Amino acid sequence: MEEKKSKTKKKQIYTALMLICAAVFFFALYKVVTILMDYKAINDYYDKANEDFVTVEEEDEGQKISVDLQKLIEINDDVVGWIYMADTVVSFPILQGPSNDFYLFRDYEKNYLVSGSIFLDSSSSSDFSDSHTIIYGHNMHNGAMFGTLDEFMEPSHRDAHPYIHILTPDGQWHRYEIFSSYVANIDDGTFVLFKESQQEYEKYLALCAQKNLYSNTEPPADGERILTLSTCTDDSDDYKRYVLQAKYIGEVDTIE
């Protein structure tokens, strides 16, 4: 009788363990499926945005990219531009909200999207005319949004993709040449915004030079505007960010 009770108890324990394992497995499966569905929703949403608003024509000088930015602005007047980096996944509208939290999890139609939007710092001039401008985006693990900025930690990747292009509402493309990349702490001075101040400008250039992982690039000179792209690091450290910085070159018609 005791032996039978012991076997019954062991069977009950075994069954309970199997049920726990099954519950853990199905919960993990649910989380994986949810994440994959989120990634698909992100890719589908921004793929459709590119299909709806972007036209690419190949020319001898490079690509001629046309974006119907005015149509986007009619949908949401928080749209301040379009960012494009040739031969990368970066081709997104740029939003600017009332705070830097507003578009963290909102798309350009102001609906919830886990990846949010690419957005301009709320304190920056919306025409990108400040001496230092910052654009933020999520680091999505499927490479969406700014999920590939970490690749620019390698100088060879920068050499293959040296430019950032921004389209403004007047229909003009603006070219920025990448000169710096590094991992920044949120309080180390990297995210200081300033308009026209020679003292702040020179101090900021010194900070960039100290941190820069590249040895073959030319820093800004003569007050060239600085653009910073920022995203979280892969380890999701709340105090660290991947940073990619570029200097303003000028207006262009084609994309390289």
pLDDT digit string (tens) for 89-115?
A: 899 999 999 999 999 999 999 999 888
Please indicate, yes or no, if residue 54 is contained in any of the structural domains.
yes
Per residue in 152-202, pLDDT (tens digit) is: 999 999 999 999 999 999 999 999 999 999 999 988 989 998 877 677 888
pTM (2 d.p.): 0.83
Assign residue 250 a region (left: φ > 0; alpha: ψ between -120 and 50; beta: otherwise). left
* Cβ-proximal residues to 111 (8 Å cutoff; 6+ apart), any chain: none
Taking residues 211-230, report their average pLDDT: 91
Per residue in 127-142, pLDDT (tens digit) is: 999 999 999 998 887 8
- Residue 169 has a pLDDT of 94
Sign of CA dihedral 172, 178, 183, 184: negative
- Residue 7 has a pLDDT of 57
- Residue 162 has a pLDDT of 95
Tell me the two tokens of residue 38: 């989120």
Domain span at residue 63 reads: 48-252
Distance separating alpha carbons of residues 60 and 55, to the nearest angstrom? 17
3 falls in which pLDDT band (50, 70, 90)?
low
Please indicate, yes or no, if residue 81 is contained in any of the structural domains.
yes
Tell me the two tokens of residue 104: 């963290």
Tell me the two tokens of residue 19: 């049920």
Q: Is the pLDDT score of 57 beyond 60?
A: yes
If one counts the domains in the chain, the total is: 1
Per residue in 4-43, pLDDT (tens digit) is: 555 566 666 656 666 665 555 544 444 444 444 555 667 6
Please indicate, yes or no, if residue 67 is contained in any of the structural domains.
yes
Please indicate, yes or no, if residue 5 is contained in any of the structural domains.
no
Please indicate, yes or no, if residue 99 is contained in any of the structural domains.
yes
- Residue 199 has a pLDDT of 78
For 230, the 3-state DSSP assignment is: strand
DSSP-assigned letter for residue 97 = -
Q: Is the pLDDT score of 49 beyond 60?
A: yes
Per residue in 62-71, pLDDT (tens digit) is: 677 888 999 9
54 falls in which pLDDT band (50, 70, 90)?
confident
Sign of CA dihedral 79, 135, 116, 88: positive
- Residue 223 has a pLDDT of 83
Which residue in this structure is represented by tokens 């900025």? 149
Q: Check: CB of residue 137 under 8 Å from CB of residue 148.
A: no
Taking residues 240-253, report their average pLDDT: 93
Instruction: Give, in degrees to the nearest 5, the angle at Cα 184 between 183 and 188.
Output: 155
- Residue 63 has a pLDDT of 72
Please indicate, yes or no, if residue 25 is contained in any of the structural domains.
no
CATH number at 58 reads 2.40.260.10
Strands 62-67 and 79-84: unpaired
Please indicate, yes or no, if residue 23 is contained in any of the structural domains.
no
